[in-house]
């Protein structure tokens, strides 16, 4: 199949625009619930030279196996945080997301031969995926998948040695994040659907699968993502594993990308390749099943979208001759606009604190808990990682964002308490909980506040900390400190 030429004078300026747009979109503030335990894990890896294999951070499952499949990302994050400062993590995220969609735009240019179509498709992909742009190892999977698909398409067209570059890419990817399995699936699809390159792609696939086992987790790293995605308790209770809710404005970009892909495929004068169809079906299914996979669809679909957009434009949109000066201005206008958007969205003051929404975490409560002796603490799932960051190793948590590092029974018990289901007090007794730290104004805090067996020990604008009342204390009688705290004053 003859591919359109990718020599377009607008390529460089529009790729710059897409990079800047991706970087700007990445600055959307998120409550980074998992970043904190990633940083703590990274520090442990840098200290000991090897990732942990057991759940070290919790007293509820201290010996439960833990597959630290993101160990290299965590070590990288911790090193950047400790040596360059927290703000450097924000810069890293912006650079990675910008690079993801710049690569996607370059792949779209290879497919379409039109830089404007490639840039438009890449920008649509970035907008669709923006609700996932957190400081987490999975952003590196987006970059690796974009590079993987670019190398596959380039090898399809040239038959050069690009396929061999996939081997070191997969070794790094397998140590950075378990999303490398998606890349192996894409490479297997290419092997099946590109008969002219089947032999070289098969060699690359076998070598890539082999080096993907060269990690501290070996074969467990290969099986782990498939195992986790089949746990109904995770997919039914953890938000990122839910199917997309198109009533949310955050998902409208994804909805638009889906609809645009369907319309363009139907209207395009060219037929999609089996490889393209396979990518759209596979990643479309994953993203509709679990919203955390939307960026994978965006990365895979945008070049396909660019190709069919260009084919449709070539057939129905007449070319408009422009003077060199007007043409140059038109090419650079998107980059200037994206730069202004990036500058406007740059966080003022403490960039890290604003980007990760540190104001939504129990900062003051963690300081208070740090002054107490070690406790058997029941904590919010969303705050577990932050408490690990602040209090480990002196204090261990009930649960945190590493759901796969806990027996399912622990997660069920946590949900029983959080939802105030029958027997929730029994769960606290069974785990011998003596302190609860939870969201101020929540139903759990209200229930504990009305329970004579518990006393309010700390309150601030974000969190409340309850401690078991000493035995023998008359029910309903507050100490002077308790009375002050119940009046609403912060600790």
Q: Tens digit of pLDDT for each residue in 344-375?
A: 988 888 899 999 999 999 999 999 999 999 99
pLDDT score of 482 more than 80: no
Q: Percent of the chain scored above 70 by pLDDT?
A: 93
DSSP string across 195-232:
GGGHHHHHHHHHHHHHHTT-STTTHHHHHHHHHHTT-H
* Lowest-pLDDT choice from 8-17, 95-104, 406-415, 440-449: 8-17
* Lowest-pLDDT choice from 207-221, 381-395, 422-436: 207-221
pLDDT score of 156 more than 70: yes
Identify which of 280, 4, 12 has the alpha carbon closest to the alpha carbon of residue 157. 4
CA distances to 38, 71, 79, 398 from 44, in Å: 10, 10, 11, 20
CA distances to 51, 178, 208, 209, 218 from 213, in Å: 15, 11, 9, 7, 5
Q: What is the pLDDT of residue 121?
A: 97
pLDDT score of 476 more than 70: no
Q: How confident is the model at residue 1 (pLDDT cuts 50, 70, 90)?
A: very low
Q: What is the pLDDT of residue 472?
A: 56
Residues 261-307 have pLDDT tens digits of 999 999 999 999 999 999 999 999 999 999 999 999 999 999 999 99
CA distances to 165, 439, 478 from 484, in Å: 65, 19, 9
Q: What is the pLDDT of residue 218?
A: 87
* Lowest-pLDDT choice from 146-150, 223-227, 274-278, 482-486: 482-486
Q: What is the pLDDT of residue 3?
A: 58
Q: What is the pLDDT of residue 4?
A: 55
Q: What is the pLDDT of residue 475?
A: 46
pLDDT score of 85 more than 70: yes
Parse the chain into domains and list their residue ranges. Answer: 11-31+67-345, 361-486
* Lowest-pLDDT choice from 347-351, 441-445, 474-478: 474-478
Mean pLDDT, rounded, of the chain: 91
Q: What is the pLDDT of residue 426?
A: 97
pLDDT score of 480 more than 50: no
Q: What is the pLDDT of residue 397?
A: 98
Stronger pLDDT, 318 or 27, i.e. the higher one: 27
Q: How confident is the model at residue 478 (pLDDT cuts 50, 70, 90)?
A: very low
Hey, CA dihedral for 114, 119, 120, 125, is it positive or negative?
positive
pLDDT score of 167 more than 60: yes
Stronger pLDDT, 160 or 175, i.e. the higher one: 175
> DSSP 3-state assignment of 405?
helix
Q: What is the pLDDT of residue 47?
A: 97
Phi and psi dihedrals of 437, rounded to 5? -120, 120
Stronger pLDDT, 475 or 30, i.e. the higher one: 30
């Amino acid at each position: 199949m003859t591919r359109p030429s990718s020599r377009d004078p607008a390529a460089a300026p529009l790729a710059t625009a897409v990079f800047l747009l991706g970087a700007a979109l990445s600055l959307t503030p998120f409550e980074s619930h998992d970043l904190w335990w990633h940083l703590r894990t990274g520090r442990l890896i840098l200290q000991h030279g090897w990732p942990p294999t057991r759940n070290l951070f919790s007293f509820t499952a201290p010996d439960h196996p833990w597959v630290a499949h993101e160990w290299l990302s965590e070590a990288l994050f911790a090193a950047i945080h400790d040596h360059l400062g927290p703000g450097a993590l924000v810069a890293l995220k912006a650079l990675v997301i910008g690079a993801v969609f710049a690569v996607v735009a370059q792949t779209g240019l290879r497919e379409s031969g039109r830089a404007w179509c490639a840039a438009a498709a890449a920008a649509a992909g970035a907008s669709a995926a923006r609700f996932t742009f957190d400081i987490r190892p999975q952003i590196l999977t987006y970059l690796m998948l974009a590079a993987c698909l670019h190398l596959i398409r380039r090898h399809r067209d040239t038959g050069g040695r690009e396929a061999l570059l996939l081997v070191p890419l997969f070794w790094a990817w397998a140590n950075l994040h378990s999303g490398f399995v998606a890349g192996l699936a894409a490479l297997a699809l290419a092997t099946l659907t590109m008969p002219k390159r089947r032999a070289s792609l098969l060699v690359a696939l076998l070598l890539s699968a082999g080096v993907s086992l060269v990690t501290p987790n070996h074969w467990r790293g290969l099986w782990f993502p498939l195992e986790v995605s089949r746990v109904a308790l995770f997919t039914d209770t953890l938000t990122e594993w839910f199917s997309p809710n198109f009533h949310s404005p955050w998902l409208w970009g994804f909805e638009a990308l889906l609809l645009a892909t369907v319309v363009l495929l139907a209207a395009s004068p060219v037929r999609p390749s089996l490889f393209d169809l396979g990518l759209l079906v596979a990643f479309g299914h994953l993203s509709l099943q679990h919203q955390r996979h939307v960026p994978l669809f965006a990365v895979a679909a945008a070049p396909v979208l660019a190709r069919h957009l260009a084919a449709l434009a070539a057939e129905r949109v007449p070319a408009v001759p422009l003077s060199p000066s007007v043409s140059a201005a038109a090419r650079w206008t998107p980059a200037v606009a994206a730069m202004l958007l990036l500058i406007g969205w740059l966080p003022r003051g403490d960039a890290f604190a604003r980007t990760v929404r540190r104001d939504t975490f129990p900062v003051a409560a963690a300081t208070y808990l740090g002054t107490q002796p070690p406790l058997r603490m029941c904590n919010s799932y969303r705050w577990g990682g932050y408490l690990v960051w602040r209090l480990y190793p002196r204090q261990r948590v009930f649960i945190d964002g590493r759901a796969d590092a806990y027996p399912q029974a622990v997660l069920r018990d946590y949900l029983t308490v959080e939802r105030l289901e029958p027997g929730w007090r029994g769960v606290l007794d069974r785990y011998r909980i003596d302190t609860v730290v939870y969201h101020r104004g929540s139903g759990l805090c209200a229930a504990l506040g009305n329970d004579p067996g518990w006393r309010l020990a700390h309150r601030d604008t974000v969190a409340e900390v309850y401690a078991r009342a000493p035995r023998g204390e008359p029910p309903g009688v507050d100490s002077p400190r308790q009375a002050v705290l119940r009046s609403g004053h912060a600790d």
